[in-house]
Amino acid sequence: MSTATKPKHIGRNISRIRELRGMKQEALAIAIGVSQQSVSNIEGSEVVEEEKLNAIAEVLGVSAEAIKNYSDETVLNVINNTFTSHDSSTINAINIQPNFNPLDKVVELYERLVQAEKDKVEYLEKLLKLK
């Protein structure tokens, strides 16, 4: 079924916006003066009365129209089109291109391990000579 023919589920939209805001049902309930169970019932309802919708919209910091017309696709489009990161770690996480040869590092670590073993043998030989 396409989204054009599917009726809008206002309660589900309220729930999504509330979650995006990082708000729990309990906090929304306190803000609009109802119980948490009432918020749960509202979020399960396909239709919400205009007065309650306006109160919820005000608490969530959006308009009642925004709740009515909410779409996950629209939110993702906004995020994708406005997200920019000047942090080089994001770039490196996506496109890993080390500026060293990994085999050189393996050889270097191997040489350090061999040297450590040689030092250990030398130390043990000194201990044996002292006894």
State pLDDT tens for residues 121-130. 999 999 999 8
More confident residue, 93 or 41: 41
Which positions ≥6 away from 45 have C-beta within 8 Å?
A: 10, 11
Predicted confidence at residue 89, as pLDDT, reads 53
Q: Which helix or strand (DSSP H or E) is residue 105 part of?
A: helix 102-130
* Residue 60 pLDDT grade (very low, low, confident, very high; cuts 50, 70, 90): confident
Residue 131, CA distances (Å) to 24, 121, 124, 127, 128 in order: 73, 16, 11, 7, 5
CB atoms within 10 A of CB 11: 21
Residue 8 three-state SS: coil
Q: Do 15 and 8 contact (CB within 8 A), yes or no?
A: no
Angle at 23 between CA 17 and CA 24, to 5 degrees: 110
Predicted confidence at residue 116, as pLDDT, reads 95
Predicted confidence at residue 1, as pLDDT, reads 43
The span from the CA of 56 to the CA of 28, in Å, is: 8
Which range is most confident: 42-56, 78-92, 95-109? 42-56
Identity of the residue numbered 8: K
